[in-house]
Structure 1
């Protein structure tokens, strides 16, 4: 994981750092004795920045090439006409458009990723989805998006030393989850020919599609794959793949992928030496960053805690 820390009360130095880290911008304010601090982490296309400003800072920024989700912890952050306070999360700007705003003695988190991940995640297919708003569609959507940003910040790419970022499956799975939550919580366009495409996808969702997808997942569960990669491997759209799993397996492609990885983790726990093996390391190896959720899924599948399986050979 690449990390960096910026800490300064010099306005020009802050402007130069923000311009390098995000997009060229001009800022103004009166720092006096207050400081600006940025804790930066990035890995596998996912970036977390924790920012703290002890003064009011105005900015005028150029276009971004990434989707930047801002979660406010303290103070106020504005962008254009949007004003966000503690507990609120929003998209700071649409990629490719300049923006301006103000940070008023605020602590906030920015989680960012390339827009292409929305297309890879969406069932509608490449080029079909475009975000049309910057605020979540309702209060519940804001809660979910805010919690997801916190999960990425605190569990996937935390500030303290952690093994999670060293596991590509963990970061890749988290990035797909974040993209899916973004599409769920922010307003976006629908594919213009959705009706015709749905009929085509329905025809492609046959048992042979399922058979080929199951084989691909079995052979590639250790790789960083998701809905788009599985669909491409069996030569159908993501939506057709979802149709096939729903009709013929009563599940989804990603739930099946999770179960396969859970089975691999179970096998590793059975094979590990209790004195040397680690539940945490095995869970991370198979893409499970949150140990509590891993334990819950494992207990549901096998009727006991993963640590019990690990200790059974002792």
Structure 2
């Protein structure tokens, strides 16, 4: 009987601990993988049986790097995570439900659905596994069926371009955001990054999410609802808000809110959130002392992880660089 281990819960407070593991012992490796992921059984062929695993946290998202020098068979209980795999060398054979697939170098794919046990073989593979909670998908979209949860309905990208875009975004999170301590320690930055990742995942894989507005979403006057949505955003700009949070405030569906903002303001709700945060950052730049405050600190405080994009958005809005504003 496999014992079930639970992932540490991310509560939005202190960051979870990073992990590093390296071993040539299969029993030790199985114990670690069970502790770090979920209950599983493994077996190995070939020598040496070296396993290396590194985990870095970016808010609620785990960024794992795994390397196996041997062929490892595995049987795994459900992860209860959305696991996106990127294979760099070797192969991963995965089996769940009616699916039988082999992930090769360059592939970006869902390793397994969150609620499904799976098995297979890792063949001398080096790969990344980027994992987020399934409820992150519910924060950025709504399902077609009332009362259901947003789910991925396929494990391969809808197109090569979509897979490449997801791979590039994950690379940005790993190499630019996570590696900068000032940025990765900001709860607003990490929560925003997790929402963006969830949105890109939904755009990459087949899903039950209702991504296009319906006739009900398009119909009826929306001026009062738009004012309420804007007021909520203005009051909550420095908090971890999503399109689903905005929709709940005005008793609309996320896709209805999306359509309303597009029609009335020619932007998405989250683009409007960015505008409001940019305005707050501008006010801080105007009022701050450049001897004690940096552009980077202010940008991070308002959820901007990419300095170049922050500067570009700022210049478009205010006609000069944030550095010029800070230094008067």
TM-score by length of 2: 0.87
How far apart in 2 are the matches of 1:212 and 1:113? 31
The alignment partner of 2:123 has SS state of strand
Aligned match of 1:240:
256
How far apart in 1 are the matches of 2:174 and 2:242? 21
Aligned match of 1:85:
104
Residue 171 of structure 2: which of 150, 154, 161 is its match?
Answer: 150
How far apart in 1 are the matches of 2:244 and 2:147? 9
Q: Superposition RMSD on alpha carbons, in Å?
A: 2.1
- Within the alignment, does 1:40 sit opposite 2:61 as a pair? no
- Within the alignment, does 1:215 sit opposite 2:231 as a pair? yes
Aligned match of 1:27:
42
Alignment map for 1:64-143 (pairs within 5 Å): 64-80=79-95, 81-124=100-143, 127=148, 129-143=150-164
Once superposed, which parts of structure 1, at least 4 consecutive aligned residues long, lie more than 4 Å away? 123-126
Give the unaligned 5+ runs of structure 2: 1-14
Give the unaligned 5+ runs of structure 1: none
**Residue 176 and residue 208 in structure 1: after superposition, are their counterparts in 2 closer, same or farther (change >3 A)?**
same
Residue 292 of structure 1: which of 295, 304, 308 is its match?
Answer: 308
TM superposition shift of 1:174: 0.8
CA contact (8 A) 1:136 1:187 kept: yes
CA contact (8 A) 1:118 1:180 kept: yes
**Residue 131 and residue 205 in structure 1: after superposition, are their counterparts in 2 closer, same or farther (change >3 A)?**
farther
36-45 or 246-255, larger mean C-alpha shift: 36-45
How far apart in 2 are the matches of 1:31 and 1:291? 46
Aligned match of 2:318:
302
How far apart in 2 are the matches of 1:244 and 1:3? 41
**Residue 167 and residue 76 in structure 1: after superposition, are their counterparts in 2 closer, same or farther (change >3 A)?**
same
**Residue 143 and residue 43 in structure 1: after superposition, are their counterparts in 2 closer, same or farther (change >3 A)?**
closer
Aligned match of 2:11:
none
How far apart in 2 are the matches of 1:272 and 1:34? 56
TM superposition shift of 1:180: 0.8
